[in-house]
Structure 1
Amino acid sequence: MNESSKNKPHLLLVDDDKSLLRLLTIRLEGEGYQVTAVEDGNAALRKLQNDAFDVVLSDLRMPGLDGLSLFEEIMGIRKDIPVILMTAHGTISDAVAATQRGVFGFLPKPVDHDELRTLLQKALSQSQAAQPGEWAKSIVTRSQDMLNVLDQAYRIAQREVSVLISGASGTGKELLANAMHQASDRRDKPFVAINCGALPENLLESELFGHAKGAFTGAVAAHPGLFREADGGTLFLDEIGDMPMTLQVKLLRALQERQIRPVGSSKHVDIDVRIISATHKDLLKEMEEGTFREDLYYRLNVVNLKLPSLKARSEDIPLLARSLLQQSAQRHGVNVSQFSDDAMQLLVKSSWPGNVRQLVNVVEQCVALTQTPVVPLHLVEQALSATKQSWPTLTEARDAFEQQYLNKLLKMTDGNVTRAAELAGRNRTDMHKLMKKHDLDAGDFR
């Protein structure tokens, strides 16, 4: 696509009448549209898999895949795209059947160009209204579920309330939090993020609240901490479900009093931050098991936004794949512009257990390995196979190590919880909580 066509509305024109196809293409291009013209429904589907279109304009009666069948196929991959059908054999019953099934509009042939112009303008208004605003330009989507989340997020961003974003690993929780920051009145102040499961408790406390000089060994200078770094802006607490209980108490106090006390200091510091937190865990279950404080949960979860998995928004996969491909190609300075049709079909059909993060990795691998401008099927198959056993997040790796460690410890002590707690440097209560977290019973080791 050249630079001048980037901002033009992109129409997919489908008709088995070659002369009409040429005529409509000339007229519509003359009115400022970018037009891709194909002669049958199957060719249209292939184009839809690999290009972004604002509107589809199709003949109703065509050999093979007719207009209504094409519409049904389009709804399976791009639920939000307006489809307009044309026919020389139109009847009232055809129009009623088409509109009842969700077709945007119906035009009789010969096509009245004023009617077509009006209908296209209405269709484009619907298509463009479904796009995320400038505040969320980093989020690529046409999925209605995702657009609903963005609509909620935009309205909530205007208010000073705490937000909890829930969703599986790799669904883009930090991306959404950053977009909400951009949509808020705090956009000119810092957006600061920290993964609460990535640091041991003492370091996490120091990172969040800061520390005074000499507060502990190695504290050769005072550290302001992330609360003060985010002053006036937004602090994003990722994987809040992994925060240790003792720190949960301190966080709750900070939120209630709007003050923090740096480690090793006797002075309190006023804070002005908006908290957005995120988790892949079921915090209600964590509360029941005693590993997450109920009062903190309700303080953080004033509004809950749930991000869908990538599989649940499969209509976004072609858009995301193309966008990521373009970004990666530019970053690495390589000439690769698109996926082959069968490669894109495989991407759309895959299950994506690692969500968008896994898709990013697949695209990066394809860009690194491809030797042609079009990414072939076998490279996508290879990249998918390599990421199937996806690299665990730090939290997942830590949990796996923790479980193995407890198993060995309980075996060494023959299930003596008191002795195991001593060896681990924990008290007995903490040890019981950890055992419960990993479904371990001391009796199984005696």
Structure 2
Amino acid sequence: MNGQVIFIDDEAAIRQAVQQWLELSGFSVRTCDSAQQALNLIDRHFAGVVISDVRMPGIDGLSLLEQLVALDAELPVIMVTGHGDVPMAVQALRQGAYDFIEKPFTPERLLDSVRRAQDKRRLVCENRQLREQFQRKDRIESQLLGVSRAMETLRRQVLELAGTSVNVLLRGETGSGKERVARCLHDFSRRAAKPFVALNCAAIPETIFESELFGHESGAFTGAQGKRIGRIEHADGGTLFLDEVESLPLAQQAKLLRVLQERTFERLGSNRSIQVDLRVISAAKPDLLDEARAGRFREDLVYRLNLAELHIPPLRERREDIPVLFEHFAAQAAERHGREAPALAPAELAHLLGHDWPGNVRELINAAERHALGLSGHSSPPASDQSLAAQLEAFEAQCLHKALQQCRGNIGEVMALLQLPRRTLNEKMQRHGISRQDYLPAGAEDD
């Protein structure tokens, strides 16, 4: 396909002729008989070209042009008229029209204008996408901290999935940051302006689970005073995050499956169906298919929840992130308590890198808070059984990451800072899977 076109004209014969011409040339064409119909189809993300007659009942072409320019000043709009009105053509071009074509026109004249307009629109959309990618990359790096390859991969996967509406299953150990990842999937999606509703399935007693999830009407059960909006209804238009979803009672699993299949549900005590539009992100520690084989989870629900799966790496598998995370959380804690965070001594850093962190990021946050309060000496994490060589490797990788970040990818400055020759630096970066490109300023080119 060469691109998308929306053609507006109140004459059916002209709409049909133009549609045939453009489709024979490989364009995807949508015709409208009024400006209002077209406005309902177009937003700032429309990647095509608009062609509109000028003289139409209701909203005329110039009024439509005014509204489209206000929506997106870079949207190519080609105006068509059969009246040969030169002042009108000048006015349309001044208002932001891309081109002005007089009836009767040949297919070649129209196709030439549409092709040029589509080329322009493609460049505009590509440049916007690149800018948005840089902006999103900067923003997500402040949300999902870490310099390890595992975290770079996770950030890329989150941004890719955030642009879709598929349900996502997060797998990871306790404290690894599953809710933070779920929040990023919501915040970087088109649902970001709508609610993000989190529910820990293991924390809700089974007796009130249905009411919590689906809500209830007044008098639905003893003690039900007044109507209650459930979590599903509250998440309408946004995202529902089900943490520890393996703890979801079997009876509620069947009802959740129906919501995902039919996009409707009923409050407890009501027969009225309510439509809902939501994305479900769930998190689990065990393999849900293993839970299904054991009879504790519905297999059909697993496939509905797990259209895409993300693995959240434990902290022990990304040790080079430990100093960055520790410094960040210690600085936050110090600011909360109105004091300066004490410097991290080499021996303390060695302890941090040597610990296996069974509680993952949550445990690290606790250690950073104690450090900020001057209590870290009372709770230094014990050294793990990891070899000295492995601990030194993790520390070396962290030093490289920090130097590249500080020097914004300038290899000459990194060589001077770390006092390393170019060949040695290259070998170390290659061994740790570190790319200079990841540290260059946005828009800079690698040499």
Q: Which runs of 4+ in 1 moved over 2 A?
A: 365-370
- For 1:319, give the aligned amino acid: V
- Which residue is 2:358 aligned to? 353
Question: Which of 168, 173, 180 is equivalent to 1:168?
Answer: 173
- Higher relative contact order, structure no. (Cα contacts within 8 Å, ≥ 6 residues apart): 1
Instruction: Show the 5 A alignment for 1:426-437.
Output: none
Question: Which of 159, 177, 180 is equivalent to 2:185?
Answer: 180
Q: Does 1:189 align with 2:203?
A: no
Q: Does 1:303 align with 2:308?
A: yes
Q: Does 1:326 align with 2:327?
A: no
8 Å contact from structure 2 (residues 316, 356) kept in 1:
yes
User: 1:149: Cα distance to partner?
Assistant: 1.6
8 Å contact from structure 2 (residues 250, 297) kept in 1:
yes
- Which residue is 1:152 aligned to? 157
8 Å contact from structure 1 (residues 161, 303) kept in 2:
yes
- For 1:232, give the aligned amino acid: G
User: 1:132: Cα distance to partner?
Assistant: 4.6
Give, in whole Å, the separation in 2 of the partners of 1:297 and 1:265: 28
Q: Does 1:265 align with 2:258?
A: no
Structure 1 alignment gaps of length 5 or more: 1-127, 386-446
Give, in whole Å, the separation in 2 of the partners of 1:272 and 1:338: 49
8 Å contact from structure 1 (residues 326, 337) kept in 2:
no
Give, in whole Å, the separation in 1 of the partners of 2:142 and 2:236: 25
- Which residue is 1:141 aligned to? 146
TM-score by length of 1: 0.54
Give, in whole Å, the separation in 1 of the partners of 2:220 and 2:373: 47
User: 1:315: Cα distance to partner?
Assistant: 0.5
Question: Which of 219, 238, 244 is equivalent to 1:214?
Answer: 219
TM-score by length of 2: 0.54
Give, in whole Å, the separation in 2 of the partners of 1:300 and 1:275: 7
- Which residue is 1:336 aligned to? 341
- For 2:301, give the aligned amino acid: L
Give, in whole Å, the separation in 1 of the partners of 2:142 and 2:279: 21
Give, in whole Å, the separation in 2 of the partners of 1:222 and 1:136: 42
Structure 2 alignment gaps of length 5 or more: 1-132, 383-447
- For 2:349, give the aligned amino acid: M
Q: Does 1:279 align with 2:284?
A: yes
8 Å contact from structure 2 (residues 217, 227) kept in 1:
yes
- Which residue is 2:247 aligned to? 242
> Any idea what SS the aligned residue of 2:202 has?
coil
- Which residue is 2:29 aligned to? none
Higher Rg of the two aligned structures: 2
8 Å contact from structure 1 (residues 165, 305) kept in 2:
yes
- RMSD after superposition: 2.0
User: 1:339: Cα distance to partner?
Assistant: 1.6
8 Å contact from structure 2 (residues 342, 371) kept in 1:
no
Give, in whole Å, the separation in 2 of the partners of 1:192 and 1:137: 22
8 Å contact from structure 1 (residues 143, 316) kept in 2:
yes
8 Å contact from structure 1 (residues 194, 238) kept in 2:
yes
User: 1:298: Cα distance to partner?
Assistant: 0.2
Give, in whole Å, the separation in 1 of the partners of 2:339 and 2:216: 46
8 Å contact from structure 1 (residues 135, 182) kept in 2:
no
User: 1:367: Cα distance to partner?
Assistant: 2.4
1:131-156 CA distance string (max 9 Å, x none): 95314522211111121122111111
8 Å contact from structure 2 (residues 170, 311) kept in 1:
yes
- Which residue is 1:41 aligned to? none
8 Å contact from structure 2 (residues 145, 151) kept in 1:
no
> Any idea what SS the aligned residue of 2:362 has?
helix
User: 1:337: Cα distance to partner?
Assistant: 4.1
User: 1:215: Cα distance to partner?
Assistant: 1.2
